[in-house]
Structure 1
Amino acid sequence: MTTLNRYMPITGHDCNIPSLLIDTQAPIDVLHDAAAYRIRAVTQLLENFAICDDAPKGAVVLQELSLVCSILLRDGCDLIDVTTRRMQEQVLQ
């Protein structure tokens, strides 16, 4: 198994010079908490949007909502990926 680089750019932001990085050597519980926070935020946003009858549901609003959700979910998935790799490395040691 290959060792992770210390800092991994998030995959949701395509840029030649990454500015948002994940510290792959951070404690696993910290990585997990960061992922869970983002996923819970998206869940809460979608649940609130789904039950709100007064919210505008135009194409632009839905497009912006989709973008916000995809950014948070991608970050969460990146963090879960790092956490999974770290846990697999620990099992193999």
Structure 2
Amino acid sequence: MNRYMPITGHDCNIPSLLIDTQAPIDVLHDAAAYRIRAVTQLLENFAISDDAPKGTVVLQELSLVCSILLRDGCDLMDVAGRRMQGQLAA
């Protein structure tokens, strides 16, 4: 595994957002959990709000924000999982 892995949510010829695959596993997990909790809280707030805007554009933007954060969180969890598998195999 390369030291720095570009996040998958930003498709670009020159990646600028990278995950340090050698960061401590607890740091990778914490970064992933932070993003997933942020999405969860945002969606829960929209779900319980009676006066939340429900226009198509707003929902598209909300979906984009949630997908970016969730994809980042999944990438981080993927790296942490591979690191843990490597430790178990060693």
Q: TM-score, normalised by structure 2?
A: 0.99
What is the aligned length? 90
Share of identical aligned residues, percent?
Answer: 89
Q: CA–CA distance in 1 between the matches of 2:49 and 2:10? A: 30
Runs of 4+ off more than 4 Å: none
Q: CA–CA distance in 1 between the matches of 2:65 and 2:49? A: 18
What is the RMSD computed on CA atoms of the aligned residues? 0.3
Unaligned runs of 5+ in 2: none
Shift, 1:56, TM fit: 1.0
| Match 1:74 to one of 59, 64, 71 | 71
| 1:64 match | 61
For residue 74 of structure 2, what is the amino acid of its counterpart?
C
Q: TM-score, normalised by structure 1?
A: 0.96
Unaligned runs of 5+ in 1: none
